[in-house]
Amino acid sequence: MKTKIALRVDSLSKSYGKVLALRDVSFAIPQGQATAVIGQNGAGKTTLVEIICNLRRADHGSVLIDGTDVARNPAIVSRIGVQLQESLLFPMVSVKRYFKLFSRLYGAPMPSAALIDRLGLTDHLDKKYRELSGGLRQRMQLGLALLNDPTLLILDEPSTGLDPIAREKLWSFIEHWISEGERTLLLTSHYMDEVERLCDRVIVLADNKIVADGSVSSLLEGMPSNVSTLQSAYTHLVGAE
């Protein structure tokens, strides 16, 4: 049986004037796989996510979601869930109103009450966005990204700035979501423990191109004897570049 490809990125390149952000980036993510993209600040991770979500146009190359070209058929993006690194939400709007608003944007939203309960937001529905802690804000944004019951979820550094307890709650929820059927995750992160816990595969960006792609164990193969962890492998790969 042929494996379904949830996301295909083919020969993607992007520049901002004389600054190169992505250089000939290609990969494919099968349905049901959790994949992390890691790299230093400026490596092109956020640009990659924005192009996949059709928020930015590539100079060259293509992005296909479920076999549909994003640039030619932008409506396909409505099938995915996205939590961007920065979400400009109105600070005076309550959690309840945000879920009602986003529910109306989808033709067949998930039952929001069940989703809200699983995210631990039930007791915070009447709070305004500005009144939420960092962890609650991240969980609310994740909930909004999941309202359309996507099979592909894109998270751009979702746990940045969270304390250990808030990170653990967020990770537990994402793990539970992944386990429910053949759901696909694309995660960008600076936390190697987050990558190892949530993802089956790691793509390393350096110098705006892919320098490594595989499971953690495969990335460690062939490394020097003093490289025994994903963190040290990442440092070695990025340092080598």
Order across the sheet with 81-83: list the strands.
81-83, 152-156, 184-188, 34-38, 201-206, 209-214
Q: Which of 100, 132, 149 is the last residue of a domain?
A: 149
For 47-82, the pLDDT digits (tens) are: 999 999 999 999 999 999 999 999 999 999 988 999
Going 133 to 79 to 51 to 4, the CA torsion angle's sign is positive
pTM to 2 decimal places = 0.91
Based on the domain organization, do 66 and 176 belong to the same domain? Answer: yes
The per-residue pLDDT for 153 is 96
The per-residue pLDDT for 86 is 72
- pLDDT bucket at 85, cuts 50 / 70 / 90: confident
Mean pLDDT on 83-91 = 84
Based on the domain organization, do 75 and 164 belong to the same domain? Answer: yes
- pLDDT bucket at 192, cuts 50 / 70 / 90: very high
Based on the domain organization, do 128 and 175 belong to the same domain? Answer: no
For 127-181, the pLDDT digits (tens) are: 999 999 988 999 999 999 999 989 899 999 998 888 899 889 899 999 999 988 7
Range of the domain at 95: 86-149
Q: What average pLDDT does the chain have?
A: 91
The per-residue pLDDT for 107 is 74
CA–CA dist 139, 158 (Å, integer): 9
Instruction: State the DSSP H helix or E strand holding residue 130, giving kind and residue range, or none if neither.
Output: none
CA torsion angle 110 52 62 148 (round to 10): 10
- pLDDT bucket at 1, cuts 50 / 70 / 90: low
The per-residue pLDDT for 194 is 95
Count CB neighbours of 45 within 10 A: 23
Question: Based on the structure, what is the number of domains in the chain?
Answer: 2
Nearest residue to 5 (alpha-carbon basis) of 29, 37, 32, 27: 29
Give me the helices (H) in the chain, please: 45-52, 95-104, 112-118, 134-146, 164-179, 192-198, 216-220, 230-240
Report the interhelical angle of 164-179 vs 134-146 (nearest 10°).
20
* pLDDT beyond 80 at 2: no
For 17-42, the pLDDT digits (tens) are: 999 999 999 999 999 999 999 999 88
Report the CATH number at residue 172.
Answer: 3.40.50.300
- Would you call 149 helix, strand, or coil by DSSP? coil
Based on the domain organization, do 145 and 155 belong to the same domain? Answer: no
The per-residue pLDDT for 59 is 96
